[in-house]
Amino acid sequence: MDWKIVVVSIILLLNAASTSSQSLAKPGCQEKCGDVNIPYPFGVGNNDSDCFRDSHFHLVCNTSYGHPVLLGSPRGNIPFRNISLEGQTTVHILIAMDCYNQSGRTYDGFQEIDIYLKKQFSFSSTRTKFTAIGCDTKAYMSSSLLSGDSFASGCISFCTSDETLINGSCSGIGCCQTSIPNGLHTFNVSLSSFYNHTDSLGFNPCSYAFLADQDWFNFSSSDVRDLRSRLPVRYDGATVTPVVLDWVIPDDNCTYAIKNRTSYACGENTYCSDSSNPTGGYNCHCKQGYRGNPYLPQGCQDIDECKEDNDCTHVCTNTVGSYKCSCPKGTHGDGLSGTGCIKNQSRVIEIALAGGSCVLLFLIIGVGWSCWVFQKRKLKQKFFQENGGVFLKQLLALHGDDSERKLKIFTSEELRKATNNYNESRIVGKGAYGTVYKGTLPDKRDIAIKMSKETNKIQIKEFINEIVILARLNHENVVKLLGCCLETPVPILVYEFITRGTLFHRIHGDGRQKFVFSWEHRLRIAAETAGALAYLHSVGDPPIIHGDVKSTNILLDDKFTAKVSDFGASRLVPLNQMQLSTLVQGTFGYIDPEYMQTRQLTDKSDVYSFGAVLVELLTGKKIYSDGKLEERKNMAKYFVSSMKQNRLFDILDDEVMHGGNRTQLQGVAEIAEQCLRLSGEERPTMREVVVELDYLRGRGVGKHSWVKENYDEESVQLLVESSLDSQIESSTMGIDSSKNQVILPLDGGR
């Protein structure tokens, strides 16, 4: 008997040794290049070699640099530093640099970087971030996704002194970061400055932009002086950063790939998982209880869980792909940690113990449930107080019954029921400020429920004051704020629900179809929107600047009546002030250039944005589109240029040309041109715009002097040469004061 035990033990030891030493490459193929392992389906060798799955996974181990370097292909220059069978690999990517000295740009490094990946690779959206470093820095990133769509983003970093820098912070002061989307297949970065580092040359001569593993890079204030000193160097001496790529078996998903066993990449004892990339692909994994390379035919080998950490307390028996626990003779139980094995006792004692345990369990559950209900109620009260609930009730009482009817304080339970526990099917929109749900009240009214991402507890009184004021707004073309809920960590706002979507989708279509949209409807919607903005500017007390006027923030109801929404960037301006100092934010193409330069938000900032919306209505073109001729990317600039050259009727939308008379179209175009003036003083007020639009619609009393027949050459030229040519959809500059600034997370009622 003893010799049998010895033989079995020897066999198990040999099996464990063979599993631990199992190669991850194909038999006879190179397993490493320097210190980098090369697991199949990747491999090196001649083009006809079977060491790699196909040409997508063909790598080269280049030894001509004095040490082995694993490159992506025979003509590739991206070095691989690690390849994981979990579908990720780490590579080294060049960084973009823009350096200056007293004489100007030094042309040290690459100001623009273009990276193109094979189709089985994409930049990991969960592990990689786009980062820019510098105190006079504009970093712009554009790309194509695996789905075929285009993508653009970037950020701005600014500072006037290295004393303002904070280690570990990339919020726009010396360092800025932004995430990348899933399925990013190419990487094109362009780096520039505002003032050639004139004000920061002594402590920041260079700007940098790069992709990097977010777990690897942590900003240090010394980076603005010399980032390269702490970055790795590539085989050819170039400065690089580590970047994580996702890789898949391309072309098929699991459902189709498994039908063709000849081309199916997964071996025995594996399971397949679909990639989240837009164009598909899949990865292979060893089943639980197996370990090895799932891409080799017999790559996943059974492991002996009994020799590793497991849940057994007494007896462990290894099985194929798993293990089981048991108790020795004279004991009972499941043999697992927790219950374990118990010495056998009489049946009566067991029943008594079981009954007592049940009573105790129910008692514990009852007490626990009571404590949970109490704590939940207490937490709601805590949030209600922190979010200004007591202050809000005082304000409502101060304003009388009229305010209480206009602003309802909802409970968290009411909104939970209205959204079916915030079911994903109820989501109607997501934005920078949070998520919007469609809810239904017991009286069958539909509402829009906005869950903001964050709020400023320090400014909560200002927040409460302003939502009371916004709730009292009463204009048929402004989305109504119905109420709020303050029993949650971040206040929830409730709006009327608008059914017909946005003006943007009505003009440009929803990706599947383009809607018929007559000039008569366009002109009416323009007039209604102008009326709403004029109301906010002049009738509100205090006046309200919207701050983010664009076609996606103009909603349409069942009768296609315009409803101005999304007060996420709104500001309430005291009556004795004409402007407000604020952080730069908004949407590119609609942002007032004067606001970008001065950081002073005025009512004329809304006028400029409204002018951009008029351009969309007239031309039917998006206000900013990538992939077009350079002069047509920014339609506002192109529109002003066309007006100057008397080419207005060459750029109008066909439906506009067929539906409107030339005099009326010329009049609306002149309004748009005046609104788009670079200087705010040269723009009309929204009240003047309303009067002029009513006149053009046949409802007014005469043309006004502010609509000029000639064009201000200087303003037009400055607008055309504006430096806002980066395709950054929304950027925030973390500089200057937040004095007098109140940011309300009040996205509109969609």
pLDDT digits (tens, 9 = 90+) for 589-620: 899 999 988 888 899 999 999 999 999 999 99
Domain residue spans of the chain? 1-76, 83-247, 312-348, 389-496, 503-720
Tokens 């699991």 correspond to: 254
Q: Please name the amino acid found at residue 491.
A: P
Q: What is the mean pLDDT of residues 676-692?
A: 95
Residue-wise over 330-352: b if at least 16 C-beta within 10 A, else e? eeebbbbeeebbeeeeeeeeeee
- pLDDT band (50, 70, 90) for residue 708: very low
In whole angstroms, give the CA distance from residue 131 to residue 540.
Answer: 41
Q: What is the mean pLDDT of residues 198-225?
A: 92
User: Dihedral (C-alpha) 692, 698, 701, 707: value to the nearest 10 degrees?
Assistant: 30
Q: What is the pLDDT of residues 174-188, one digit of tens each?
A: 999 999 988 888 889
Q: Please name the amino acid found at residue 49.
A: S
Q: What is the DSSP letter of 740?
A: T
CB 592 within 8 A of CB 489: no
**DSSP 3-state helix, strand, coil percentages of the chain (rounded to 5)?**
30, 25, 45
In whole angstroms, give the CA distance from residue 562 to residue 478.
Answer: 8
Lowest mean pLDDT among 356-370, 421-435, 551-565, 717-731: 717-731
Q: What is the DSSP string of 420-483?
A: TTT-GGGEEEEETTEEEEEEE-TTS-EEEEEEES---GGGHHHHHHHHHHHHT---TTB--EEE
CB 144 within 8 A of CB 185: yes
In whole angstroms, give the CA distance from residue 738 to residue 732.
Answer: 13
Lowest mean pLDDT among 26-40, 310-324, 390-404: 390-404
Q: Which residues contact 544 (CB under 8 A, 6 or more apart)?
A: 469, 470, 473, 536, 537, 567, 570, 571, 572, 573
Phi, psi of 86 (to 5 degrees): -85, 10
Q: What is the pLDDT of residues 709-746, one digit of tens each?
A: 443 433 333 333 333 333 333 333 322 322 333 333 33
In whole angstroms, give the CA distance from residue 266 to residue 286.
Answer: 9
CB 87 within 8 A of CB 247: yes
Give the residue ranges of DSSP H helices in 151-282: 223-226, 254-257
In whole angstroms, give the CA distance from residue 389 to residue 395.
Answer: 10
246 is a catalytic site residue = no
Q: What distance lies between CA 44 and its chain's CA centroid?
A: 38
Q: What distance lies between CA 750 and its chain's CA centroid?
A: 20
3-state secondary structure of 249: strand
Helix (H) or strand (E) holding 724: none
Q: What is the DSSP letter of 233?
A: B
Per-residue pLDDT at 532: 95
pLDDT at 353 over 90: no
- Choosing from 548, 592, 603, 606, the catalytic residue is 548
> 712 exposed, middle or buried (CB, 10 Å; 0-12, 13-18, 19+)?
middle
Mean pLDDT of the chain: 82
Pairing of strands 481-485, 408-409: parallel
Name the token pair of 90.
């780490």
3-state secondary structure of 315: strand
Lowest mean pLDDT among 357-361, 671-675, 690-694: 357-361
In whole angstroms, give the CA distance from residue 209 to residue 667.
Answer: 45
> 86 exposed, middle or buried (CB, 10 Å; 0-12, 13-18, 19+)?
exposed
Q: What is the pLDDT of residues 135-155, one digit of tens each?
A: 999 999 988 766 677 889 999
What number does CATH give the domain 503-720?
1.10.510.10
C-alpha angle 230-234-90 in degrees, rounded to nearest 5: 85
Name the token pair of 18.
């063979």
Tokens 């000849």 correspond to: 262
pLDDT at 5 over 60: no
In whole angstroms, give the CA distance from residue 321 to residue 286.
Answer: 10
pTM value surpassing 0.75: no
In whole angstroms, give the CA distance from residue 127 to residue 211.
Answer: 10
3-state secondary structure of 534: helix
Per the document, the length of the chain is: 750
Architecture of domain 389-496: 2-Layer Sandwich (3.30)
User: For 467, what's the count of Cα atoms within 13 Å in the CB-facing half-sphere?
Assistant: 34
What angle in degrees, to the nearest 10, is found between the helix axes of 635-644 and 603-619? 80
Per-residue pLDDT at 65: 86
Name the token pair of 529.
């929107």
Q: Please name the amino acid found at residue 562.
A: A
Per-residue pLDDT at 626: 67
Quick one: how many helices (H) and strands (E) in the chain?
A: 18, 38
Smallest CA-to-CA distance from 59 within 88, 28, 31 is with 31
In whole angstroms, give the CA distance from residue 453 to residue 433.
Answer: 6
C-alpha angle 738-749-535 in degrees, rounded to nearest 5: 65
Helix (H) or strand (E) holding 696: helix 686-696
C-alpha angle 72-75-79 in degrees, rounded to nearest 5: 35
Per-residue pLDDT at 315: 86
Q: What is the mean pLDDT of residues 38-65?
A: 90
pLDDT at 535 over 90: yes
3-state secondary structure of 501: coil
Binding-site residues from annotation for ATP: 450
Q: Is the model more confident about 707 or about 72? A: 72
In whole angstroms, give the CA distance from residue 660 to residue 696.
Answer: 11
In whole angstroms, give the CA distance from residue 128 to residue 675.
Answer: 41
Report which listed range, 118-122, 311-315, 567-571, 626-630, is most confident: 118-122
Binding-site residues from annotation: 450
Q: What is the pLDDT of residues 395-426, one digit of tens each?
A: 777 766 555 457 888 999 999 999 999 999 99
Per-residue pLDDT at 400: 62
Phi, psi of 426 (to 5 degrees): -90, -5
CB 57 within 8 A of CB 42: yes
Lowest mean pLDDT among 163-167, 661-665, 700-704: 700-704
Q: What is the mean pLDDT of residues 255-283?
A: 91
Q: What is the mean pLDDT of residues 378-407?
A: 76
Q: What is the DSSP string of 45-107?
A: S-TT-SSSSSGGGEEEEE-TTSS-EEESSTT---BEEEEETTTEEEEEEE-EEEEEETTEE--
